[in-house]
Structure 1
Amino acid sequence: MTSYDGPVSDHFDGRTFFDPDGVPPKSLGEVLRWQFGGDRQRQAWPDWVENEHADIPPPRVTAGVRLSFVGHASWLIQTAGQNILIDPVWSDRVSPVSFVGPKRHNAPGIAFDRLPAIDTVLVSHGHYDHLDLATLSRLAATFNPRVVTPLGNDSTMRSADRAIRVEAFDWKDRVDLGGGLAVTLVPTRHRTSRGLFDRNKALWASFVLETPAGKIYIVCDSGYGDGIHFRRVRDAHGPLRLAILPIGAYEPRGFMKDQHMNPADAMKALADCGAGQALAHHHATFQLTDEAMDAPAKELAVALGAAEIPRERFVALRPGQIFEI
């Protein structure tokens, strides 16, 4: 078990990280009651869904921004001649072991051997559906990219593969990526762990990516709370051209609301952060919680209609689809 060793701060007590505006993580007993309680209503997912789309990205994009949805929280962002991966997961399972745990229900929207040369990887936190060591090792061996992550997650990566070229940063650190690009790590309402005894021993974050076409707010995993995190990003980093917001893994609501947004929460987050456009993710690839596979996208469409917001303002792509600025 690895942990971060650093000075005490307003979100690190010398042993674990915490969100001053959040809530403590659920106890182990609460987790077990949700997982194994007799009243659990877990919806069945189809074993496998064939993708309707498969992207073959260009080697580089120099004008504007090209975003390709890989699946779950994984994206390829191409801009200013650079290729950036977000929380890359090409593994079949997101689990400590390869034979049990949440499995993939559709293929990545980009085949790994179709990836362009990757320059930078952003990894938001240590949960297995975001920090996938097998994929990071494969990327290191193939492209040797720079990996940017919050404090403590670098120890997890280095202990698994010294070839992963990782750098760890704190909330509010701005990292120059070169070529007119930069990324700032910002607080988000979440938590992290890799096992039973390392809760919040590493930090978690969202990202604000500065591009020539505007700023992109990348929220890989977050609860909503009272929206303070999103309003602070608006105030500190606005105006935002685009927000990538999670809409899945939210049932049962009473258990999940502190760490995962549902579509209604994501719409409030969009209003709070003030982005002109949003893309939805964190749904329909790995069954982490109890809702049906297609429920997040359907509920997002209903919520947009009820609020009389055009559907094209908040789009739920499918793996292999692209969005361009």
Structure 2
Amino acid sequence: MAVLVVAVAVRRVWPVAAVVAAAVGTGVFLAWGAGPGPVLVMSALVVFSAGIRMAPGRFVVWVGPLVVAVGLVSQVGRPWWGWADGGAAVAVVLAVGSMAVPAGAGVFVRSRRESRRRAEAEEVQRHRFEERLRIAREVHDLVGHSLSVISMQAGVALHVVDRRPEQAAVALEAIRDSSRAALEELRGTLAVFRGQDGVERAPLAGLGRVESLVQELRSAGRGVEVVWEGEPVQVPGAVDHAALRIVQEALTNVVRHAGDVPVRVGVVFGEGELVVRVRDEGCGAGVVREGSGIAGMRERARAVGGRLRVGPVATGGFEVEAVLPLAGER
């Protein structure tokens, strides 16, 4: 009984030693001629705990032979250890049967815990992937738009540097301002993602910055019109930010692919939804090949429960339309 008590005490720290001690204590107790009684309860507790803490293969290798051995040792006082009258076989069956339930329960609990740990690990990996994707999207949208504007302004400066130096100076100032603003925003974004102390979490940029985006293009001689429709409502921060980034990426694509054509940006506050459209008056596109820019806009729209449509329009040109759900009140 003392050996069994020790086995129960150390079952969580040394499960193999506990199983061996429980087998020894139970075997001696039964060989002495006493009935099973409480020894089976303590043995079952040790087996259950071992099933939780030992790998299934290792558990069977250790526990199986020991249980069979205990069944045989219980017949030590009988002639031929019970082999002559079948008592040994019955004892082994009873021993295995009495330990099967706690053993199965222990293995089941271990399996559930491992499944839960795997699910938690997969969830952590999924969150990490989504966070990396979000950082990549932010950097792509911010840097891509800024570099497109800088490239456009540099082209203007090179075009007029000999004939109109004062206009080149204006373009160079715009390049300086755009690069400075982009660098500051990029530093703030990366600092927040890194969790640096002392960095204030500024509100996410939203549609209030559309005019500044458009002004950058207008300063380079682009014709951009902004039209606001509907009664403004309170837009959730995530939706507001997604709408801005979609407009920003759409304008970047116009600069890269459409050439010097007029552009119209429309923002419509509808019933329960926000619609943003960016349309140029270029020649459109025959086959739309979705690169990282369109894929990023689609992911942003989907992330807030919205949808995105891109493609040429019947009257000419190319349009990006995002329909985003609203939760704000008028």
Give the TM-score normalised by structure 1: 0.26
Structure ID, larger Rg:
2
Say which structure, 1 or 2, has more relative contact order (CA 8 Å, 6+ apart).
1
Between structures 1 and 2, the one with greater helix share: 2
Richer in strand (by share):
1
TM-score (norm 2): 0.26
